[in-house]
Structure 1
């Protein structure tokens, strides 16, 4: 069974194709700069252990043109992995927001598309692009099942006291203002992998997953289900991130508006794209941050302290929410690769019996790794995330 996974953005399309017999990646790529004067496609195939790469530049006015070229590459006589689009059994779509309508992977129908469109106000930057990818793929891969995998679905198991805000009831009932969370596909994948790796039964398990990339979020996972997560109504809440502020006193927004005469869109842009690590240091890439710290820059040192302190605070609150913890799991680009961040997060948690093996933490090895000290009462793991594979698995399970 061949499954194509699509992550459709406003001006880009990321994709991977899997042969689910062995869960092999056959091809992956990205279509970029859609709608601009010149777009590009970077496409890789993996055949018999050999990687081949193709890069093309040409005008890509819309998603249909971009995906049509992807099909040409997938069926190319020399580097193709299928002979025609009908060989694709399913297309798994990453959909950022499903509101309260979807708590599991869903076969896409016109009614489902309508619900995705209905919750666009909850994810105005993402859902329109996700929906566009669905519409184009439905036309191009007409024989395939179209499957929606929602970023918010894993968090729909949160109890009301975790997802509700202390604001007037009608704002929730009439306008669905509540915490939804994001990165659910990643949190689900790594928490399940952790249970499997540690041979822990779901029942009674307590895991904290720490997804650190340019976007950052954490989840408290009990009995294999999410009971709390750091992102909220939007991806802006929670941890400090590459360009997002994370948690902030709402009165700051009123101050910016009233005292500095900033408009709503300016404040939105400031908090989402000009804040976080970028706002404090001028850099959003943690490798640049590390270089500045090593050069003795005090401001950058403070910024990373703020970054790791926020994570540590959430760990403490989630230990309380879970009434203990079996494992703390780091994942995503920063979580998997930044040794200093992991060390600073775990430092000072020994009162909870959480201790790090600094030597093991400093090593770079592939796959799942344990990095806790021998006398640690809690496992500390690095679990590489694979959201595309998780989407493919969920699509396969659904159509089966």
Structure 2
């Protein structure tokens, strides 16, 4: 029998939903939430009813009966560190995300909405590859500042999904292979996958600069800037994440616009794009050492991977390490759905969420 799955991916001012029948996408829609509507709520969790009602209304508008669903999956939110793969949404998870999330974030609403809809029709709700997946090697956690150990914050969902897709295309499984995966969007992360485990990451605030993030910068200069009196805490965060990277120089986060500038002879734009790809290539080399050079493939993914210029600049520096595969796109809705289908088909077992003692 075919399985229909609803995937829900809340963002700060939008909620994206997709309905799939097996691997076939039936439709995808994005619900925009005006800033004035979101501003009515003091806490993210308070948006739950509003967003859920919008999702149900949109499904009805498209003539879709929720009773046809075999499962509902939401974007995993800000839980304490969890394993990769699927978790069945339960009351314990709902309580944590509603009343005590690690961080207030729109992704927390994914599990809450999925659970409510699933409960109403008697099916299960899941999250898949939460943003808080943490499988780092112990040695990867150590820093020179004991109060600041490294943690895994990366584009886990798309990174693992594209690694699985690449492995399947080669007639192997994710657990058989080693990958370095580069996710390139508003932020850039570089991840090392070793035989089915995400063992180390370069988060989007610790490595390459990106369209809107500063990436890795000197700590001494950063401390001086923090205490210069020019910025408050909020302003510094914005400078590093949101107003950094290409935007700080060119006032755009759209790589297509940067490439247009280059084609029109803008030398600074060329230098900056080359600097970004140079730093991405360095990150790939860094993660290759984690895998002791045993890299089966390097995967370039995310929205920026649609740019042939960007991918070619990176390939020039890394193709000697391993074959480079370009799997462009964010792929979040597909990744959530395919993970859920693997659980429904018995190919994966969903974890049960419990609070740590």
Structure 1 residue 298 displacement after superposition: 2.0
Q: Which runs of 5+ in 2 are unaligned?
A: 40-45, 347-357
Which residue is 1:27 aligned to? 27
Taking the aligned partners of 2:24 and 2:301, their CA distance within structure 1 comes to: 21
Matched length? 333
Distance in 2 between the 1:207 and 1:288 partners? 31
Displacement of 1:288? 0.4
Distance in 1 between the 2:250 and 2:276 partners? Answer: 12
1:394 maps to 339
CA distance in 2 between counterparts of 1:101 and 1:242 reads 29
- Residues 106-147 of structure 1: per-residue CA shift (max 9 Å, x gap): 1112211344468744x44x2xx2333433444444224221
- C-alpha displacement of 1:276: 1.0
Partner of 1:146 in structure 2? 125
Q: Which structure has the bigger radius of gyration?
A: 1
Q: Any residues of structure 2 matched to 1:153-192 within 5 Å, and which? A: 156-168=134-146, 171=147, 177-192=149-164
- 1:250-399 matches, cutoff 5 A: 250-324=219-293, 325-335=295-305, 337-349=306-318, 353=320, 378-385=322-329, 386-398=331-343
| 1:131 matched to 2:108 | yes
What's the RMSD between the two structures over aligned residues?
A: 2.7
Aligned partners of 2:77 and 2:109 also within 8 Å:
no
Alpha-carbon spacing, 1:249–1:99, altered in 2? closer, same or farther (3 Å): farther
CA distance in 1, matches of 2:154, 2:78: 8
The question of whether the paired residues in 1 share the 8 Å contact of 2:78 and 2:107 is answered with no
Give the drift of 1:396. Answer: 3.3
Residue 81 of structure 1: aligned partner = 64
Question: Against the structure 1 CA distance between its residues 132 and 211, is the aligned structure 2 distance closer, same or farther, given a 3 Å change threshold?
Answer: closer
Distance in 2 of aligned mates of 1:281 and 1:111: 46
Q: Distance in 2 between matches of 1:248 and 1:256?
A: 12
Other-structure match for 1:363? none
Q: Deviation per CA, 1:150-201, whole angstroms, max 9, x where unpaired? A: 4346x53320111333322xx47xxxx5321221011111111111112345
State the partner residue of 1:110.
91
Name the structure 2 match of 1:366.
none
Q: Answer whether contact 1:63 1:133 (CA < 8 A) is retained.
A: no
State the secondary structure of the residue aligned to 1:329: strand
Instruction: State whether residues 98 and 150 of structure 1, in contact with CA within 8 Å, keep that contact through their aligned partners in structure 2.
Output: no
Contact 1:311/1:345 (8 A) holds in 2: yes
Counterparts of 1:379 and 1:119, CA distance in 2 = 44
- Secondary structure of 1:383's partner? strand
Q: 1:2 to 1:307 in 2, by over 3 A?
A: same
Normalised to the residue count of structure 1, the TM-score between the two structures is 0.75
Query: Is the contact made by 2:7 and 2:333 (CA closer than 8 Å) also made in structure 1?
Result: yes
Match of 1:47 in 2: none
TM-superposed CA distance for 1:237, in Å, is 2.6
Worse-superposed segment, 187-196 or 102-111: 102-111
* Range with bigger deviation, 93-102 or 339-348: 93-102
The one of 67, 72, 81 aligned to 1:91: 72
Q: Give me the whole-angstrom Cα distance separating, in 2, the residues matched to 1:102 and 1:222.
A: 15
**Does the CA-based 8 Å contact 1:99-1:152 persist in structure 2?**
no
TM-superposed CA distance for 1:34, in Å, is: 4.2
Report the Cα distance in structure 2 between the residues aligned to 1:218 and 1:193, rounded to whole angstroms: 17
Give the distance between the partners of 2:8 and 2:245, measured in 1 at CA.
28
Tell me if the contact between 1:113 and 1:131 (Cα under 8 Å) persists in the aligned partners. no
SS at match of 2:134: helix
Q: Structure 1, residues 49-107: CA drift from partner, whole Å, max 9, x if none?
A: xxxxxxxxxxxx9553444243233234xx4132xx33223221112433324444211
